[in-house]
Amino acid sequence: MKAVVIGATGHVGTYLVPRLVRMGYQVTAISRGTREPYTAFPEWREVERVRLDRLALEKSDGFGCKVAAMNPDVVVDMISLDYHSTMETVRALQGTNLSHYLFASSIWEHGAAFTVPADEDTPRKPIDDYGRDKVRSIEYLHGEFVQNGFPYTAVMPGHISGPGWTCINPTGNHDPSVFTAIAHGERIYVPNLGVECVHHVHADDVAQVFELAIRHRDAALDEDFLAVAPKAITLRGYAEHMYEWFGKEADIAYLPWPEWVKVTADEEKINRTFRHISHCNNYSCEKARRILGYQPQYSGMDAVHEAVHSMIERGVVISD
Amino acid sequence: MKAVVIGATGHTGTYLVPRLVNYGYEVTAVTRGLSEPYTVTGEWREVERVQLDRSEEEKAGTFGKKIAAMNPDIVVDLISYSVESTKSTVRALKGTNLSHYLFASSIWEHGAASVTPADEDMPRHPIDDYGRDKVASVRFLHEEFVKNGFPYTAVMPGHITGPGWNCINPTGNFDPEIFGRIGRGEKIYLPHFGMECVHHVHADDVAQVFFRAIQRRTAALDQDFLAVAPQAMTLRGFAEAMYAWFGKEPDIEYLPWEAWQKTAGSQAFINSTYSHLAHSDNYSCEKARRILGYAPRYTILQAVCECVSSMIARGVIQVG
């Protein structure tokens, strides 16, 4: 049995590829460059590495056919960021021996929170291009399933966290200096009353959902699964928790949005935070639990602790 | 079997008393005045009505004694708002034939939202006197259970909603005119980005939790149960859903807190909104489902729409 993972050395691939090897798959890991996975699990030695530049190849419809030529049973597509990319790959895979195509979507198929926690049955009202493109891809995949039996499953991960990269901080953006400030007991600024939510998930738990969807293929076909930690957390709860984790007194100033924007004074950070708090991320993983037997191993804060540990080790966050 | 319901004609009592009568309890409804329940059903004809002014009787030290003299098997206490009140009632009931004391607590045992949806296993950090008093009462009840086997169960309802009174509106307070404006397609103002949550529950579903706790006494003793709708909702989602329900185009302006306050009708409304925003209510009803078999009848929007229909019928709001 052959599995091809596209975008294999990313956050989720780092954990999923070893899981596939342990399941007995012969795994081909496609990535653009030669970057190593975030954690070099031993199973990676058994993996065939292939370098392909998807964006460049897709311009001439040359990516999907290269994947199809590998004659995979399973394709896990981690990096299809737009609808055209999904279509190009899926078309090339039709008529092959493929038995399962797993598509990494996003919680941001959902837009501004309405009823919470949102689940897979909540209607999709994406509020940004990223989310809209994911929704279009899923609509296309669903159409292909209904019309041609194309065997897809979609997984919608939360804010993927783990050791090796920078996770979302308690101000709702990726600025690691916020963790450094907390580590020194210095003041941080949180917008509004800090009750908007973020919803982390450990990369290994996302990999678990993909693995279970492959194992329970029949139940997973034409279905989508939110891959999140059991609970979301408010920025306020997150901030207070991190001060406690670092053994410091919380020093949090809550600012009305216009003032928070002034204090932050960095367009990239402001935009990121705005995107997170306007979604107010809060999702349910009940469907994955019920249908796939998903058992998250990490709470959102467990996932963050690992990420922050690693940021300290790598010198990205400075603590005492 | 005799059941005494204190505060029997209130929101929850309106639905709980008929359930108890139907089950075969001889019910005594204790109320301060002669108020009728919000919805009168035939079962109420079989109910014994007793007038007692709790605060006056407590000053005289006679309230608990009068309840104990009724020789109840079950006491449902829906209106104990201070720990002293709880203590004096419980003390009077010791040594009687009482088999179950059900205490109406509140979701506001929980303070500012942190990990969401909050559940019964999370630590209590109440942020107002109301919540602190409820926590103190439940702690007292727990000690009485541990030391003396006092048989209590606590129920923590969300924002109780139903026909006959005014429910919390999409700006997080009780100003009925907000529903009026939405119904007429006029503009409303929401604080922040409208991402704070409220968590209504239909009074009949709260009654269901009390009733099931009585039926499953052994499983319910020394336990607390959140009584909420299956999902919470954001103020933004609430507002948009109400415009849609009235068949109007949403006309919502989002304002920073300072500016929003100027749009609120009164200081009382501002205070109420602030309390709701700061809590950002979002709770789980899984424990009641799992242990009591709670099966909520109403989604959060159904509960709200029943309430708003009644506000229109009673002329509380005019929508043209």
Per-residue pLDDT of A233-246, as tens digits, reads 999 999 999 999 99
Q: Hey, what amino acid is at B231?
A: Q
- Spell out which residues of chain B touch residue A280, defining contact as CB-CB under 8 Å: 193, 195, 234
Q: What are phi and psi of B274, to 5 degrees?
A: -60, -45
| Cα-only R_g, chain B | 20
Which residues 265-294 of B have a C-beta within 8 angstroms of A?
277-278, 280, 282
Tell me what pLDDT residue B119 has.
98
Tokens of A106: 């996003």
Query: Tokens 């006029």 appear where?
Result: B186
Residue of B nearest to A276 (CA): B195
Predicted pLDDT of residue A65: 96
Q: Cβ(A282)–Cβ(B284) under 8 Å?
A: no
Q: Kindly state whether B117 is in contact with chain A, defined as any CB-CB distance less than 8 angstroms.
A: yes
DSSP for A236-293 reads HHHHHHHHHHTT----EEEE-HHHHHHHH--HHHHHHHHHHHHHT--B--HHIIIII-
Question: Percent of chain B scored above 70 by pLDDT?
Answer: 100
Sort out which chain B residues have CB atoms less than 8 A from A282's CB and list them. 116-117, 282
Cβ–Cβ of A277/B280 closer than 8 Å? no
Which of A268, A241, A261 shows the shortest CA–CA distance to A179? A241
Burial of A226 from C-beta contacts in 10 A (0-12 / 13-18 / 19+): buried
Residues 6+ apart with CB under 8 A from B290: none
Q: According to the model, what pLDDT value does residue A167 have?
A: 96
Mutation site for A-interface testing, chosen from B120, B201, B233, B234 by largest number of A Cβ within 10 Å: B234
- Checking if the pLDDT of A68 tops 80, the result is yes
Which residues in chain B are closer than 8 Å to A263, comparing Cβ atoms?
A: none
- The CA distance from B176 to B266, in Å, is 12
Tell me which chain B residues have a C-beta less than 8 angstroms from the C-beta of A242.
none
Contacting residues of B for A197, CB less than 8 Å apart: 113, 116, 195
pLDDT band of residue B195 (cuts 50, 70, 90) is: very high
Q: How confident is residue A81, by pLDDT bands cut at 50, 70 and 90? A: confident
In this predicted structure, the answer to whether residue A320 has a pLDDT above a threshold of 90 is no
pLDDT at A201: 98
- Cβ neighbors of A306 (< 8 A, separation 6 or more) are A161, A162, A163, A202, A298
The confidence score (pLDDT) of residue B61 equals 94
pLDDT at A57 over 90: yes
Q: What is the pLDDT of residue B274?
A: 97
The rounded distance, in Å, linking the Cα atoms of A251 and A181 is 10
Cβ distance of A195 and B112 shorter than 8 Å: yes
For residue B320, what pLDDT is reported? 78
Q: Is B153 helix (H, G, I), strand (E, B) or coil?
A: strand
Between B114, B194, B234, which is nearest A116 by CB?
B234
Nearest to A295, CA basis, from A208, A217, A218: A208
- 3-state SS of A58-120 is HCCCCCHHHHHHCCCCEEEECCCCCHHHHHHHHHHHCCCCCCEEEEECCHHHCCCCCEECECC
Residues 6+ away with beta carbon under 8 Å from A88:
A58, A61, A63, A64
Taking each helix axis as running N to C, give the angle between helix B129-148 and helix B83-93, from 0 to 180 degrees, rounded to the nearest 10.
20
CATH 3.40.50.720 fits B2-160+200-227, yes or no: yes
Complex prediction ipTM: 0.88
- How close B307 gets to chain A, by Cα (Å)? 18
Is pLDDT above 80 for A124?
Answer: yes
CA distance A115 to A113: 6
B296 near A CB under 8 A: no
CA distance A174 to B120: 32
Report the residue from B236, B277, B301 with minimal CB separation from A195.
Answer: B277
Q: Which residue of B115, B231, B240 is in closest CB contact with A116? A: B231
Q: What domains, with CATH codes, occur in chain A?
A: 2-158+201-227 (3.40.50.720), 161-199+231-282+298-313 (3.90.25)
Q: Compute the distance between CA of residue B157 and CA of residue B224 in angstroms, rounded to an integer.
A: 11
**Contact B206/A at CB under 8 A:** no
Determine the Cα–Cα distance for residues A20 and B103; give it in Å rounded to an integer. Answer: 52
Element (H, E) at B50: strand B48-51
Mean pLDDT within B259-283: 97
Give mean pLDDT, residues A195-205. Answer: 97
User: Other CB atoms closer than 10 Å to residue A320's CB: what's the count?
Assistant: 8
**Closest Cα in chain A, distance from residue B72 (Å):** 40
Q: What mean pLDDT, rounded, does chain A reach?
A: 96
3-class SS of residue B63: helix
Task: Tell me which of B276, B282, B290 to substitute to probe the interface with A (most A C-beta atoms closer than 10 Å).
Answer: B282
Sequence-separated contacts (24+) of A180-183 with Cβ below 8 Å: A180/A317, A180/A318, A180/A319, A182/A239, A182/A242, A182/A243, A182/A246, A182/A248, A183/A246, A183/A248, A183/A312, A183/A317, A183/A318, A183/A319, A183/A320
Q: Which helix (H) or strand (E) segment is B155 a member of? A: strand B152-157
CB pairs under 8 A between A and B: 104
Q: Which pTM was predicted? A: 0.93
The predicted structure's pLDDT at residue A207 = 98
User: Can you tell me which residue has the tokens 């309840």?
Assistant: B67
Nearest residue in chain A measured CA to CA from B238? A114
Query: Reduced to 3 states, what is the DSSP secondary structure of residue A170?
Result: coil
| Rounded mean pLDDT, A132-147 | 97
What is the tens place of the pLDDT at every residue in B46-59?
999 999 999 999 99
Assigned token pair, B72? 């109840």
Closest CB to A256: pick one of B237, B257, B278.
B257
Confirm or reject contact between A170 and chain B (CB < 8 A). Answer: no
Q: Give the H or E element holding residue B6.
A: strand B2-6
Name the nearest CA neighbour of B116 among A274, A267, A236, A133: A236
Residue recorded with tokens 């990494």: A104
- Cβ separation B113–A241 shorter than 8 A: no
What tokens appear for A119 in the block?
């689940």
Residue A130, both tokens: 């990223």
Looking at residues A180-189, what average pLDDT do you find?
A: 98
B195 and A113 within 8 Å at the Cβ level: the answer is yes
Q: What are the domain boundaries of chain B?
A: 2-160+200-227, 161-199+231-281+298-313
CB contact under 8 A, B114 and A192: no
At B207, list the tokens. Answer: 């009654």
The alpha-carbon gap from B112 to the nearest alpha carbon of chain A, in Å, equals 8
Which tokens sit at B183?
A: 């119904």
Contact A115, B233 (CB under 8 A): yes
What is the rounded CA–CA span in Å between residue B233 and residue B196? 8
| pLDDT higher than threshold 80 for residue B272 | yes
Q: Which two tokens stand for residue B199?
A: 């968590």
pLDDT-derived band at B34, boundaries 50, 70, 90: confident
* Residue B208 reports pLDDT greater than 90: yes
Taking a C-beta distance cutoff of 8 angstroms, is the pair A316, A177 a contact? no
Domain spanning B161-199+231-281+298-313, CATH architecture:
Alpha-Beta Complex (3.90)
Average pLDDT over residues B102-123: 97
* Residues 210 through 269 of chain A touching chain B, CB cutoff 8 Å: 231-234, 236-238, 240-241, 256-258
Burial (CB count within 10 angstroms: exposed 0-12, middle 13-18, buried 19+), residue B256: middle
H-helix or E-strand spanning residue B304:
helix B300-313
Q: Which structure tokens are listed for B260? A: 């929003």
